[in-house]
Structure 1
């Protein structure tokens, strides 16, 4: 019985935390960063201010936790795509397309100040490193099968891919994003 009780309490805590994060993000999108207060988050989340302060000390901490969760979700999605059965070239193409689409869809969702604030944390650098390693590992696999060039270091090629696909944030359509992925993949093919 105590184990079930602890699991129930933990599930409740996670649900409250998620409600806080979702509420804060919605308020920032709706009203702007400077208009969001702890009182408003508590009210819209349907919890007391004292409860809110048990979870987070301020709005900044809430938004950083929300962003960390978003990045974690994106990395999990990319890892899932990259670990599916299939040839390394097909898997890398799927990862790069998913990454480019995430970049495309995320662009313009926040004002510049909020974007700069959210991307300053260590969690962003850590996520970039994980993504770089994921792409590099697929490139190593693909070089072994002859799908990708072996005359350039996999770390350099991974950097090339991620920098090239950062441009997806400024593209107007998903079709343009897919064309960018195609062009990026062309640079990975072995020279003839």
Structure 2
């Protein structure tokens, strides 16, 4: 699904994630058995325009490619090199090595796009190829972050059909954040 800014949705379907899917897919557990879909929630701000903030999400199972790659073709199809873009992603896990390479290429080609990626988990972080991809993203100007408990609450309020109910974070959310934060810091040294 591709959502948009609340007043001008480009897709008639809902632009919010089901709460059960959010709690399952974004849970920042170390062993993510069964959590094999990528959900990418995005915010896009184009400077010097009256378009407002573009908000929505993609699931890789609803695109013909990985969600990270689909973002650039489906959510920024009218890319304007004269504008500055500030893009924030909240993803279920960090990019695979192929996606990291493609994102780094896009950022090199589009110097006016600033990307910050908040990941709930690190994808196969022990693999040398994944680590190299994350380092390439980082050196290419992409800010890589692990989602803190506050980030999950922000996502709940911004991207989830929550009927205005507060998010009850899982018991080990903070400890899992600290674990992944440390692993990412080690990779990016």
**Larger proportion of strand:** 2
With structure 1 as the length reference, what TM-score do the two structures score?
A: 0.26
With structure 2 as the length reference, what TM-score do the two structures score?
A: 0.26
| Larger Cα-atom Rg | 1
